[in-house]
Amino acid sequence: MLSMIVGKWLNKQSAVSIEESPAIEQLVQQAKVNIDMRNELISQYTPFMIKVASKVCKQYIDRSRDEYSIALEAFNEAIETYDEEQGSHFLSFAEMVIRRRVIDYIRKETRQTRDILLEQDSKDEEEQVESLAQINASISQYKEEMDRERRREEIQEYQLFLKKFDITFSDLVECCPKHIDARENAKQIAKILASKPELANYLLEKKQLPLKHLLKFVNCSRKTVERNRKYIIAMALIYIGQFECLRSYIEPEQVQGRKGG
Protein backbone atom coordinates (compact mmCIF):
# COMPACT_ATOMS: atom_id res chain seq x y z
CA MET A 1 0.00 0.00 0.00
CA LEU A 2 1.47 3.32 -1.10
CA SER A 3 0.60 5.23 2.08
CA MET A 4 2.54 2.67 4.14
CA ILE A 5 5.59 2.96 1.88
CA VAL A 6 5.44 6.76 2.09
CA GLY A 7 5.04 6.60 5.87
CA LYS A 8 8.15 4.42 6.27
CA TRP A 9 10.12 6.68 3.98
CA LEU A 10 9.09 9.75 5.99
CA ASN A 11 10.39 8.16 9.19
CA LYS A 12 13.78 7.53 7.57
CA GLN A 13 14.12 11.11 6.39
CA SER A 14 14.59 12.42 9.93
CA ALA A 15 18.16 11.09 9.69
CA VAL A 16 18.81 12.46 6.18
CA SER A 17 19.77 16.02 5.41
CA ILE A 18 21.60 17.89 2.65
CA GLU A 19 23.46 21.04 3.56
CA GLU A 20 22.77 23.81 1.10
CA SER A 21 24.13 27.28 0.66
CA PRO A 22 21.32 29.87 0.81
CA ALA A 23 22.61 31.44 -2.41
CA ILE A 24 23.39 28.34 -4.46
CA GLU A 25 20.24 28.59 -6.57
CA GLN A 26 21.29 32.09 -7.66
CA LEU A 27 24.80 30.84 -8.41
CA VAL A 28 23.38 28.06 -10.58
CA GLN A 29 21.41 30.57 -12.64
CA GLN A 30 24.65 32.52 -13.22
CA ALA A 31 26.54 29.32 -14.02
CA LYS A 32 24.09 28.55 -16.82
CA VAL A 33 25.51 31.47 -18.84
CA ASN A 34 28.93 32.08 -17.28
CA ILE A 35 31.56 29.39 -17.83
CA ASP A 36 33.88 30.78 -15.15
CA MET A 37 31.09 30.69 -12.59
CA ARG A 38 30.26 27.14 -13.67
CA ASN A 39 33.85 25.98 -13.23
CA GLU A 40 33.97 27.62 -9.82
CA LEU A 41 30.71 25.93 -8.80
CA ILE A 42 31.96 22.54 -10.01
CA SER A 43 35.23 22.97 -8.12
CA GLN A 44 33.41 24.00 -4.94
CA TYR A 45 31.04 21.02 -5.04
CA THR A 46 33.48 18.33 -6.13
CA PRO A 47 33.38 16.77 -2.62
CA PHE A 48 29.59 16.66 -2.91
CA MET A 49 29.79 14.79 -6.23
CA ILE A 50 32.30 12.31 -4.81
CA LYS A 51 30.11 11.77 -1.75
CA VAL A 52 26.99 11.01 -3.82
CA ALA A 53 28.83 8.70 -6.24
CA SER A 54 30.55 6.89 -3.36
CA LYS A 55 27.22 6.37 -1.63
CA VAL A 56 25.72 4.80 -4.76
CA CYS A 57 28.78 2.56 -5.30
CA LYS A 58 29.03 1.72 -1.59
CA GLN A 59 32.77 2.48 -1.68
CA TYR A 60 34.94 5.58 -1.89
CA ILE A 61 35.17 7.01 -5.40
CA ASP A 62 38.17 9.24 -6.18
CA ARG A 63 38.71 11.43 -9.23
CA SER A 64 40.48 8.68 -11.16
CA ARG A 65 37.37 6.50 -11.32
CA ASP A 66 34.92 6.44 -14.23
CA GLU A 67 32.08 6.87 -11.74
CA TYR A 68 33.47 10.28 -10.79
CA SER A 69 33.48 11.35 -14.46
CA ILE A 70 29.85 10.24 -14.69
CA ALA A 71 29.01 12.23 -11.54
CA LEU A 72 30.74 15.31 -12.96
CA GLU A 73 28.78 15.08 -16.20
CA ALA A 74 25.58 14.63 -14.19
CA PHE A 75 26.33 17.71 -12.07
CA ASN A 76 26.80 19.69 -15.29
CA GLU A 77 23.50 18.29 -16.54
CA ALA A 78 21.82 19.37 -13.31
CA ILE A 79 23.10 22.93 -13.79
CA GLU A 80 21.72 22.97 -17.34
CA THR A 81 18.30 21.57 -16.51
CA TYR A 82 17.61 22.98 -13.02
CA ASP A 83 14.44 25.03 -12.76
CA GLU A 84 14.03 26.94 -9.51
CA GLU A 85 10.27 27.16 -10.05
CA GLN A 86 10.00 23.42 -9.48
CA GLY A 87 10.33 24.18 -5.79
CA SER A 88 13.29 21.89 -5.09
CA HIS A 89 16.71 22.87 -3.76
CA PHE A 90 19.47 22.58 -6.33
CA LEU A 91 21.60 20.10 -4.39
CA SER A 92 18.61 17.82 -3.86
CA PHE A 93 17.96 17.94 -7.59
CA ALA A 94 21.66 17.44 -8.43
CA GLU A 95 21.88 14.44 -6.11
CA MET A 96 19.00 12.74 -7.92
CA VAL A 97 20.57 13.37 -11.34
CA ILE A 98 23.98 12.06 -10.20
CA ARG A 99 22.45 8.98 -8.58
CA ARG A 100 20.46 8.17 -11.71
CA ARG A 101 23.42 8.56 -14.08
CA VAL A 102 25.81 6.55 -11.90
CA ILE A 103 23.24 3.77 -11.48
CA ASP A 104 22.66 3.69 -15.25
CA TYR A 105 26.44 3.42 -15.77
CA ILE A 106 26.77 0.57 -13.26
CA ARG A 107 23.88 -1.30 -14.89
CA LYS A 108 25.53 -0.96 -18.29
CA GLU A 109 28.87 -2.19 -16.96
CA THR A 110 27.17 -5.11 -15.20
CA ARG A 111 25.44 -6.22 -18.39
CA GLN A 112 28.71 -6.09 -20.32
CA THR A 113 30.55 -8.08 -17.66
CA ARG A 114 27.80 -10.69 -17.62
CA ASP A 115 27.94 -11.07 -21.41
CA ILE A 116 31.71 -11.55 -21.32
CA LEU A 117 31.47 -14.19 -18.61
CA LEU A 118 28.74 -16.06 -20.43
CA GLU A 119 30.83 -16.21 -23.59
CA GLN A 120 33.85 -17.75 -21.85
CA ASP A 121 34.39 -21.49 -22.30
CA SER A 122 34.56 -23.60 -19.17
CA LYS A 123 36.83 -26.64 -18.91
CA ASP A 124 34.19 -28.62 -17.15
CA GLU A 125 30.42 -28.62 -17.68
CA GLU A 126 29.79 -28.81 -13.93
CA GLU A 127 32.00 -25.78 -13.38
CA GLN A 128 30.13 -23.93 -16.09
CA VAL A 129 26.75 -24.63 -14.45
CA GLU A 130 28.11 -23.52 -11.08
CA SER A 131 29.60 -20.38 -12.62
CA LEU A 132 26.33 -19.47 -14.34
CA ALA A 133 24.43 -20.01 -11.09
CA GLN A 134 26.79 -17.67 -9.26
CA ILE A 135 26.50 -15.08 -12.00
CA ASN A 136 22.70 -15.27 -11.96
CA ALA A 137 22.63 -14.99 -8.17
CA SER A 138 24.94 -11.98 -8.31
CA ILE A 139 22.89 -10.32 -11.03
CA SER A 140 19.68 -10.98 -9.09
CA GLN A 141 21.13 -9.45 -5.93
CA TYR A 142 22.42 -6.45 -7.83
CA LYS A 143 19.05 -5.95 -9.54
CA GLU A 144 17.33 -5.91 -6.14
CA GLU A 145 19.76 -3.27 -4.92
CA MET A 146 19.22 -1.15 -8.02
CA ASP A 147 15.44 -1.52 -7.68
CA ARG A 148 15.68 -0.18 -4.13
CA GLU A 149 17.79 2.73 -5.33
CA ARG A 150 15.34 3.51 -8.13
CA ARG A 151 12.39 3.30 -5.72
CA ARG A 152 14.07 5.73 -3.33
CA GLU A 153 14.84 8.07 -6.23
CA GLU A 154 11.25 7.97 -7.48
CA ILE A 155 9.90 8.74 -4.01
CA GLN A 156 12.11 11.83 -3.83
CA GLU A 157 11.03 12.99 -7.29
CA TYR A 158 7.38 12.31 -6.43
CA GLN A 159 7.71 14.33 -3.22
CA LEU A 160 8.94 17.33 -5.23
CA PHE A 161 6.10 16.87 -7.75
CA LEU A 162 3.50 16.82 -4.97
CA LYS A 163 4.98 19.98 -3.44
CA LYS A 164 3.89 21.95 -6.51
CA PHE A 165 0.30 21.09 -5.56
CA ASP A 166 0.76 21.94 -1.85
CA ILE A 167 0.51 18.26 -0.94
CA THR A 168 2.95 16.67 1.49
CA PHE A 169 3.55 13.00 2.21
CA SER A 170 1.91 13.54 5.58
CA ASP A 171 -1.19 14.85 3.77
CA LEU A 172 -1.17 11.79 1.52
CA VAL A 173 -1.07 9.40 4.48
CA GLU A 174 -3.90 11.27 6.23
CA CYS A 175 -6.18 11.72 3.21
CA CYS A 176 -5.98 8.12 2.00
CA PRO A 177 -9.56 6.73 2.01
CA LYS A 178 -10.01 4.14 4.77
CA HIS A 179 -12.32 1.79 2.87
CA ILE A 180 -11.01 -0.27 -0.06
CA ASP A 181 -14.00 0.56 -2.29
CA ALA A 182 -13.55 4.30 -1.77
CA ARG A 183 -9.82 3.98 -2.34
CA GLU A 184 -10.23 1.99 -5.56
CA ASN A 185 -12.88 4.42 -6.81
CA ALA A 186 -10.52 7.35 -6.20
CA LYS A 187 -7.73 5.53 -8.06
CA GLN A 188 -10.00 4.91 -11.04
CA ILE A 189 -10.93 8.60 -11.12
CA ALA A 190 -7.23 9.48 -10.99
CA LYS A 191 -6.47 7.07 -13.83
CA ILE A 192 -9.20 8.62 -15.99
CA LEU A 193 -7.91 12.09 -15.15
CA ALA A 194 -4.36 11.17 -16.15
CA SER A 195 -5.49 9.46 -19.37
CA LYS A 196 -7.32 12.53 -20.72
CA PRO A 197 -4.74 15.06 -22.04
CA GLU A 198 -7.09 18.01 -21.65
CA LEU A 199 -7.81 17.11 -18.01
CA ALA A 200 -4.19 16.31 -17.18
CA ASN A 201 -2.98 19.58 -18.71
CA TYR A 202 -5.56 21.53 -16.71
CA LEU A 203 -4.36 19.86 -13.52
CA LEU A 204 -0.70 20.61 -14.26
CA GLU A 205 -1.34 24.22 -15.25
CA LYS A 206 -3.98 25.25 -12.67
CA LYS A 207 -2.78 22.98 -9.85
CA GLN A 208 -6.37 21.96 -9.16
CA LEU A 209 -8.91 19.39 -10.33
CA PRO A 210 -10.90 20.16 -13.50
CA LEU A 211 -14.07 19.22 -11.61
CA LYS A 212 -16.64 20.33 -14.18
CA HIS A 213 -15.07 18.36 -17.04
CA LEU A 214 -13.90 15.45 -14.90
CA LEU A 215 -17.44 14.72 -13.71
CA LYS A 216 -18.43 14.03 -17.34
CA PHE A 217 -16.17 10.96 -17.35
CA VAL A 218 -16.79 9.48 -13.89
CA ASN A 219 -19.77 7.85 -12.27
CA CYS A 220 -19.82 9.56 -8.89
CA SER A 221 -20.96 12.79 -7.26
CA ARG A 222 -19.08 16.09 -7.10
CA LYS A 223 -19.08 15.77 -3.32
CA THR A 224 -17.24 12.43 -3.51
CA VAL A 225 -14.58 13.82 -5.82
CA GLU A 226 -14.08 16.93 -3.67
CA ARG A 227 -13.84 14.85 -0.49
CA ASN A 228 -10.98 12.82 -1.98
CA ARG A 229 -9.42 15.73 -3.90
CA LYS A 230 -5.85 15.44 -2.55
CA TYR A 231 -5.75 11.66 -2.88
CA ILE A 232 -7.06 11.77 -6.46
CA ILE A 233 -4.49 14.41 -7.44
CA ALA A 234 -1.70 12.43 -5.78
CA MET A 235 -2.65 9.21 -7.57
CA ALA A 236 -3.07 11.01 -10.91
CA LEU A 237 0.42 12.49 -10.60
CA ILE A 238 1.89 8.98 -10.29
CA TYR A 239 0.46 8.15 -13.71
CA ILE A 240 1.24 11.54 -15.26
CA GLY A 241 4.80 11.54 -13.91
CA GLN A 242 5.30 7.93 -15.05
CA PHE A 243 6.55 6.78 -11.66
CA GLU A 244 6.64 3.09 -12.53
CA CYS A 245 7.94 1.85 -9.17
CA LEU A 246 5.25 3.71 -7.25
CA ARG A 247 2.62 2.64 -9.75
CA SER A 248 3.39 -0.98 -8.88
CA TYR A 249 2.23 -0.24 -5.34
CA ILE A 250 -1.20 1.01 -6.38
CA GLU A 251 -1.98 -1.43 -9.20
CA PRO A 252 -1.85 -4.77 -7.30
CA GLU A 253 -4.41 -3.58 -4.77
CA GLN A 254 -6.89 -3.09 -7.60
CA VAL A 255 -6.44 -6.73 -8.62
CA GLN A 256 -6.98 -7.88 -5.04
CA GLY A 257 -10.05 -5.68 -4.79
CA ARG A 258 -11.57 -7.30 -7.85
CA LYS A 259 -10.89 -10.77 -6.51
CA GLY A 260 -12.39 -9.88 -3.16
CA GLY A 261 -15.51 -8.49 -4.80
pLDDT above 90: residue 230: yes
Helices 24-31 and 90-119 cross at an angle (nearest 10°) of 60
> Rounded to an integer, what is the distance from CA 94 to the centroid of its chain?
13
In contact, 6 and 54? CB cutoff 8 Å: no
In this structure, are residues 56 and 64 in contact, taking their beta carbons and an 8 Å threshold?
no
Least confident of 26-30, 42-46, 210-214, 249-253: 249-253
pLDDT of residue 16: 40
DSSP single-letter state for residue 216? T
Q: How confident is the model at residue 133 (pLDDT cuts 50, 70, 90)?
A: low
Mean pLDDT of all residues in 45-61: 89
Which range among 6-10, 14-18, 58-62, 121-125 shows the weakest confidence by mean pLDDT? 14-18
Helix axes 90-119, 46-57, angle to 10 degrees: 40
pLDDT tens digits, 82-105: 887 766 788 888 998 998 889 888
The CA distance from 191 to 22, in Å, is 39
pLDDT value, residue 252: 47
- pLDDT attached to residue 6: 58
Name the helix (H) or strand (E) containing 2: helix 2-12
- Domain range list for the chain: 2-8+20-163, 169-260
Q: What string of H, E and C letters represents the secondary structure of 148-179?
A: HHHHHHHHHHHHHHHHCCCCCHHHHHHHCCCC
If you average pLDDT over residues 240-257, what whole number do you get? 69
What integer pLDDT is reported at residue 237 of this predicted model?
A: 92
Q: What is the DSSP letter of 62?
A: -
> Is 97 exposed, middle or buried, given 0-12, 13-18 or 19+ CB atoms closer than 10 A?
buried
Across 15-19, 32-36, 59-63, 125-129, least confident range: 15-19
Predicted confidence at residue 120, as pLDDT, reads 52
Q: What is the pLDDT averaged over residues 101-127?
A: 65
| CB-based contacts of 193, cutoff 8 Å, min separation 6 | 199, 200, 203, 209, 210, 214, 232, 236
So what's the pLDDT on residue 114? 58
